[in-house]
Amino acid sequence: HSDQGSTYRAYEYLKLFKANNITQSMSRKGECHDNAVAESFFNTLKTELINQKIYQTRKQASSAIFEYIEVFYNKIRRHSTIDYYSPNDYEKRFYRNNIP
């Protein structure tokens, strides 16, 4: 994820992305705060997963990242923004308290 700086919009970068089938993630023009959420997530990903292990193949790394995001981070990991509940527990609590 990046801002709309000229480096990340340069022809060579765009050509590299296209050649590797990469979709570029970019903040809205003039919205510097868009980047904060992405920066926070990727810092957590690196700290909790990437820097903990050396992956032998790209497929191994890709599988580990997918499992971290889809199984752990989005469902089980406790998040400070929701009072340190896991997303699953927070959702259960929400429905228990709001659905008659």
pLDDT tens digits in sequence order for the chain, 100 residues long: 455 555 666 778 788 888 998 877 777 776 667 678 888 899 999 999 999 999 999 999 999 999 999 999 999 999 999 999 999 999 999 999 998 7
pLDDT at 9: 66
For residues 2 and 44, membership in a common domain is answered with yes
Of 48, 66, 84, which residue is a domain's last?
A: 48
For residues 41 and 68, membership in a common domain is answered with no
For residues 27 and 59, membership in a common domain is answered with no
For residues 98 and 58, membership in a common domain is answered with yes
For residues 36 and 58, membership in a common domain is answered with no
Give the C-alpha separation, 69 to 76, whole Å.
10
For residues 37 and 76, membership in a common domain is answered with no
For residues 35 and 59, membership in a common domain is answered with no
User: How many domains does the chain contain in total?
Assistant: 2
Asked if 4 and 27 touch (Cβ cutoff 8 Å), the reply is yes
For residues 43 and 61, membership in a common domain is answered with no
Across-strand partners of 85? 79
Task: Supply the pTM of this predicted model.
Answer: 0.64
Any idea what DSSP says for residue 72? I
| Structural domain harbouring 5 | 1-48
